[in-house]
Structure 1
Amino acid sequence: MPHSFSEQVRSNHAHFAEILKKIRTGRAHPEMVGDILVEAYGAQTPLSGLAGVSVTDARSLVVEPWDKQIVKAIEKAIIAADRNLSCAVSGDIIRVSIPQMTEETRQQVAKSLDTELERARVAVRKAREEEKKQIEAKTKSKDLTEDDRRDQIKTLDEETKKAVSLLEAAAQAKKAEIMKV
């Protein structure tokens, strides 16, 4: 299979996996806040670079800043991120509570997951189209025989179906996790 298509598909899968990590499931996990940008030391810095984040129970996180001077800045950034999280500062640590998801919230999150899945599918199809154009150009310039073109397009179609089914399987697993009460 052509190198560029495989690379694009791999990159797309990695990006989709990162998106899945950030989607709220009703259970606490450090990735929920790790990418929040905090105004610290004159720059916007991801929270994961300023503090340790740990899970205390299914609906609570503890954020322990490495520099105690930025506790208020971290609290402000978590609230400003608008992720429906509540914070409580206890000395040098910040306790983050994740509210229980309602059925309506679960459906909204599942709908946003479907939107992200469709974006990932489109990216795979776009990569397929680019690769198909390259194959057609090689055929037109006589670098590829008609039989080779047909074989490569068939292989490309199989790889595309496989890539899309992997995305769909990951999305289904995440959706099951979201809908689980």
Structure 2
Amino acid sequence: MNEEITFILDSTNESMNGSIDHLVKAFAKIRAGKANPIMLSSVMVDYYGSQTPLAQVANVSTPDARTLTVQPWEKNMLQPIEKAIMIANLGFNPMNNGDFIIISVPPLTEERRRDLAKQAKGEAEDAKVGIRNARQEANKEIRALDDASEDLKKNAEADIQELTNKFSRKIEEVLTVKEAEIMKV
């Protein structure tokens, strides 16, 4: 097989893998009823005038399935962290006990579970769009090759379609698992 075609296939595979990785990270941020430190990954704290990720100013842990604790490395950061969690609009009500912040993760209502499942479907659809864009770009690159025969180009396009189908199935599998996790009471 042509070296250029092999390179295009490899880069397309890498790009599609990137879409799957992004989807997995997006799914990690969608809470499924269990407390997880990743839930607070989007919280930015005002740390002496600069916006800093929560993980860089405090330790976030889960003592049990329904509770998150945030223990700042500096005691004077308790109020700014509490304020940042409120501003992040994650649906949490932080409680400050003077040493650390305790967040009770409320159980999900049926309506909220459906909303989260819809959000997960939206993320999966975005990942599919990324995969289709990678396919389109690869096909465009293959058609632009001058030194490859028509048969080689057709075979390469078929290989790219195979990759696209494989990664689309992978997205569906990941989505099915996440939906089951969200809907489980």
- The one-letter code matched in structure 1 to 2:181 is E
Q: CA deviation at 1:168?
A: 1.3
Secondary structure (helix, strand or coil) at the match of 1:85 reads: coil
Deviations 1:126-155 (A, max 9, x none): 1100000001111xx2x1111111111111
How many residues align? The count is 178
1:155 matched to 2:159: yes
Unaligned runs of 5+ in 2: 1-5
Residue equivalent to 2:148? 144
TM-score by length of 2: 0.93
Q: Secondary structure at the match of 1:82?
A: coil
Deviations 1:98-137 (A, max 9, x none): 1110000000000111111101100100110000000111
> In structure 1, how many angstroms separate the alpha carbons of the residues matched to 2:81 and 2:62?
17
Q: Does 1:104 align with 2:108?
A: no
Match of 2:50 among 38, 43, 61: 43
The aligned counterpart of 2:14 is 7
* TM-score normalized with structure 1 length: 0.95
| Amino acid across the alignment from 1:60 | T
User: Cα deviation per residue 1:2-23 (whole Å; 9 max; x = unaligned)?
Assistant: 2321221122111111101100
Match of 1:100, SS state, is: coil
In structure 1, the partner of 2:136 is: 129
1:14-39 Cα shifts (integer Å, max 9, x gaps): 11111011001011000001231111
Name the counterpart of 2:183.
179
- 8 Å contact from structure 2 (residues 31, 182) kept in 1: yes
Q: Is the 8 A contact 2:85 2:92 kept in 1?
A: yes
CA RMSD, 1 decimal: 1.0
CA contact (8 A) 1:35 1:48 kept: no
- Which runs of no fewer than 5 residues in structure 1 stay unpaired? none
Q: Does 1:19 align with 2:44?
A: no
Please identify runs of 4+ aligned residues in structure 1 that moved more than 4 A: none
User: For the residues of structure 1 that align with 2:74 and 2:172, how far apart are their CA atoms?
Assistant: 42
